[in-house]
Amino acid sequence: MTQGHSITIERGGRHVRVVHGDQVLAETDRPLVLRETGSPARYYIPAEDVRLDLLTPSDTHSFCPFKGTASYWSLPDAPDLVWAYPDPKPAVAEIKGHLCFSEAEVS
């Protein structure tokens, strides 16, 4: 990480449920919590706990110098709602195989 920028990843101890409209998109008891300088805490959910059948891959990609290149998925009324880093940088390798939602309800 560069000076003044940090990323930490820890195992979340809370239940995370992601709902969009009336659909449950993901539910897990084993999220990763990623905290990054200048950003809100984000929950990364194992792909096995995500309703991938409801999501459509997007053509959108973005690059983070600290995490790598992200791929995105959409719902018909929510473009690029979900992202993941298929080949994350070594410092954040734990997030491989996990997806992050722009909004997550924690219970």
DSSP state, residue 85: -
Provide the 10 A C-beta neighbour count for residue 101.
Answer: 22
Q: What is the pLDDT of residue 52?
A: 97
Residue 93 main-chain phi, psi, to 5 deg = -55, -25
Q: Would you say residue 103 has pLDDT above 80?
A: no
Q: What is the pLDDT of residue 3?
A: 72
Q: Which domains does the chain have, with CATH numbers?
A: 7-106 (2.170.150.40)
pLDDT of residue 1 exceeding 90, the answer is no
Residue predicted with more confidence, 4 or 46 = 46
Q: pLDDT at residue 66 above 70?
A: yes
Instruction: Work out the pLDDT band at 104, boundaries 50, 70, 90.
Output: low
Decide: 45 and 34 in contact? Cβ < 8 Å: no
Under the banding of pLDDT at 50, 70 and 90, the label for residue 4 is confident
